[in-house]
A and B are shown apart, each in its own frame.
Chain A
Amino acid sequence: MAQFVLSLHTAPTDHDTTQRLIKFAEACIAGGHTISAIFLYQAGIFHASNHLELASDELPVKQLWQELSAKEIPLLLCVTAAEKRGLDTQDTGVFTVAGLAEFAMLASEADKWVQFK
């Protein structure tokens, strides 16, 4: 069984990338693998915005993250990338604010780092 870290680099408007990451994560868990973190980096940090309000017929991005969070996968947000983009890091919902060093350590320990962009 392998240990994965996943990183997401695109904004919530990129529905295909978001869904690929979520489906990959679910397949990992279903296959008995572990995910030590899903890390939001670059424009991916906007997934942690507390201003994200989408119409009911759009992809329910918030709900998808809540479902992943319920599977106890650590959902991390890069503080440097967030601050550079002016994101409010006081309220980031299901995401935990983390440093790049914290993620780099997880990536160094993982068998595979898979990027979604």
Chain B
Amino acid sequence: MKNVLVISQHAPFDDQHIRESLDMALIFAAIDQNISWLLSADAVLALKKNQQPELLGIKNYFKMIKTLELYDVENIYVCEKSLMDFNLTKENLIIDVKVANFEQQRALIAQQHQVVTL
């Protein structure tokens, strides 16, 4: 089993970046790899509560994010500094995440066999 990390840094409505990160995380879970997902910078907004993408005519894929746990994607990390930048806390997010500082993010990346930034 390989440790695979998906890193997302794009905002939730910026092209298909977050949707494709989600697809990638789910597919590695489906083939029984040890998958983690790290969201930093604008990507943390993808986990913010009360998003209403329908108002923008954008498909609501946030529901899929909530199902991650069902598919055994439990290692979801959020950059501590990025949360602070947007004045968010864990409680403002739609799923339970691990908040990681820079040192913890470095350690996380060092543990991986494969890292992909989407």
Chain A residues with CB under 8 Å of chain B are: 7, 9, 41-42, 80-81, 84, 100-101, 104-105, 107-108, 110, 112-113, 115, 117
B24 within 8 A of A: yes
Most buried by B among A41, A100, A104, A105: A104
Interface size class of B (residues with CB under 8 A): 10 to 19
Please report whether the interface of chain A is mostly helix, strand, loop or mixed according to DSSP.
helix
Chain A residues near B117: list those with CB within 8 A: 115, 117
**Chain A-chain B contacts (Cβ-Cβ < 8 Å), number:** 41
Interface status of B30 (Cβ within 8 A of chain A): yes
Task: Judge whether B118 is part of the interface by a CB distance below 8 angstroms.
Answer: yes
- Considering only residues 1-26 of chain B, those with a C-beta below 8 Å from chain A are 2, 4, 16-17, 19-20, 23-24
What are 20 A-B pairs with beta-carbon distances under 8 A?
A42-B16, A42-B17, A42-B118, A81-B16, A84-B19, A100-B23, A100-B24, A101-B30, A104-B31, A104-B33, A105-B31, A107-B4, A107-B114, A108-B2, A108-B4, A108-B114, A112-B114, A113-B114, A113-B116, A115-B116
- Residues in B with CB closer than 8 Å to A81 are 16, 20
CA distance A57 to B115 in the complex (A): 36
* Contact call A104/B16, Cβ cutoff below 8 A: no
A100-B27 contact given A41-B20, A108-B4, CB 8 Å threshold? yes
In the complex the two chains form, what is the Cα distance from A112 to B17 in whole Å?
Answer: 22
Chain B interface helix/strand/loop/mixed: mixed
A48 to chain B, nearest CB (A): 17
Inter-chain CA distance A50–B98, complex, in Å, is 44
Instruction: Say yes or no: A104 contacts B27, CB within 8 Å.
Output: yes
Extra contacts, 18 of them, besides A101-B27, A110-B114 (Cβ < 8 A), are A9-B118, A81-B16, A81-B20, A84-B16, A84-B19, A100-B23, A101-B30, A104-B24, A104-B27, A104-B28, A104-B30, A105-B31, A107-B114, A108-B31, A108-B114, A112-B114, A113-B114, A115-B116
Q: A42 and B31: CB pair below 8 A?
A: no
